[in-house]
Amino acid sequence: VWSNGATTQSITVSASGSYSVSVDNGTCSSATSAPTTVTVNALPATPTISASGATTFCQGGSVTLTSSASTGNVWSTGATTQSITVSASGSYSVSVNNGSCSSALSAPTTVTVNALPATPIISASGATTFCQGGNVTLTSSAATGNVWSTGATTQSITVSTSGSYSVSVDNGSCSSATSAPATVTVNALPATPTISASGATTFCQGGNVTLTSSAATGNVWSNGATTQSITVSASGAYSVSVDNGSCSSATSAPTTVTVNALPATPTISASGATTFCQGGNVTLTSSAATGNVWSTGATTQSITVSTSGSYSVSVDNGSCSSATSAATPVTVNALPDAGITQSGGIVTATQSGATYQWYTCANVQIDNETGQTFTPTVIGDYYVVVTNGDCSVTSACIAVATLGTRDFGYNQFKIYPNPVDDLLNIEYTGVLNQVEVFNIVGQRLIMRRVGTSSAQIDMSNLPAGTFFVKATSGSASKTYKVIKK
């Protein structure tokens, strides 16, 4: 029989006290056992857990869990500190052990650690070093959730300024690590050059102008040249840019060059021969109707020239002058001297070295009188036509009042009968070359070549009247007056 009234062999006790037992066999009771003292110690208070922040966070984060008990804490992780910092998902609890007893376990605190999105990679659409005015598109390997260092949230961004560009991915819960940066370098452009011209940029065919860039080096002209200056002779719009090896400047304002075509080269036509005698002229005509400028200074289509020279013409249309025409030479020959003199019945032309033809002043040509000197056989008036080259001149008339001789003596000749009816006989101490018969106006009626010392002339067919018979031997001659009955 137990002190608590139980009659079983064993009792289970949970309260402090002194417990004893005796045995009752139905008749007698034994002495009471020595007491057994049971002491039940009180449990520590069940602790509570407080978190320093959210218990759901992203990989790489942590939270500090703190027990409400300052000492005796035994965490489910095995830690015995009042606070633990955790960075892994799990259910965390704590109890308190005061050295004798342990408290009940606290309510668990669940920590959830979300995995981070994959770190994105940036790809570029082209070179990341380029010239001002260019750009490059940077694209994240993540299709969604991108957050760029510029603040953009698209998968791709297009950038045109120098800088270091990076991106991370935010899936709504967590952000990835930031990508490796993409460095973009934008080089400044060289200054835009200007063009200066050495002269007028509108000129005539055959001319040129030199165009010069304001940049000393790196020039690239629109015609492909790479020098600072170019010389151009064709119409066009010329511009230049500067390339410094990295970048090209903006193209300069164009310089327009206008090359005007030359008028057609004129030709000269002559109204007649261009070699003529003094006193004549020739008209030279340009093939161009207008704009003519002659070498004489004349500006008409035609010019009339009377002096020797080389004549040419060009055409000026107000903008350009044509090439000069082929020259037309004009030769004006001097006239022979028209002087004539008389001495002793012999008439002489002043001009020597020419050809001559003598005439009566009745304009009757005297046959065979073609020497510089003329000895008339009839008293009268005479003139000579003197020809030197292609030019002829007519002398003034000169009056011959006495008849002259040329080295014949009268005693060397016999001429008979005189007057004569029909046959006239002539005898000479030398050889007669020729005998001629003239009427009183100087017309030759008979001419006979002889070659002997005598001749007989038949005058039967001549009318009655006065005639002159001229006998010639070598360079000498003699004229006789003969009466025909």
Q: Each residue of 229-259: pLDDT tens digit?
A: 999 999 999 999 999 999 999 999 999 999 9
Q: Which of 283, 260, 267 is nearest to 315 (CA)?
A: 267
**Does pLDDT of 327 surpass 60?**
yes
pLDDT of residue 408: 56
Task: pLDDT band for 161, please (50, 70, 90 cuts).
Answer: very high
**Does pLDDT of 409 surpass 90?**
no
pLDDT of residue 411: 64
Region 112-132 average pLDDT: 97
Going by the DSSP 8-state scheme, the letter that residue 61 receives in this structure is -
Region 317-332 average pLDDT: 96
State which fold the 268-333 domain adopts.
Immunoglobulin-like (2.60.40)
Q: Is the peptide bond before 47 cis (omega within 30 degrees of 0)?
A: no
pLDDT of residue 401: 78
Residue-range domain boundaries for the chain: 49-114, 122-187, 195-260, 268-333, 340-400, 413-484
**Does pLDDT of 169 surpass 60?**
yes
Per CATH, the number for 49-114 is 2.60.40.10
Domain 340-400 is of which CATH architecture?
Sandwich (2.60)
Domain 413-484 is of which CATH architecture?
Sandwich (2.60)
Comparing 122-187 with 340-400, is the CATH topology the same?
Answer: yes
CATH 2.40.50 fits 122-187, yes or no: no
**Does pLDDT of 6 surpass 80?**
yes
pLDDT of residue 403: 67
Q: Which of 133, 231, 225, 141 is nearest to 182 (CA)?
A: 141
d(CA 211, CA 119): 57
Task: pLDDT band for 479, please (50, 70, 90 cuts).
Answer: confident
CA angle 6/10/13 to nearest 5° reads 75
**Does pLDDT of 456 surpass 90?**
yes
d(CA 147, CA 165): 11
DSSP, collapsed to helix, strand or coil, labels residue 143 as coil
Region 219-226 average pLDDT: 98
Q: What is the overall mean pLDDT for the chain?
A: 94
**Does pLDDT of 375 surpass 90?**
no
Task: pLDDT band for 84, please (50, 70, 90 cuts).
Answer: very high
Whether 388 and 353 have beta carbons less than 8 Å apart is answered as yes
- Here the tokens at position 163 are 């800088």
**Does pLDDT of 475 surpass 90?**
no
Whether 313 and 291 have beta carbons less than 8 Å apart is answered as no
pLDDT of residue 476: 76
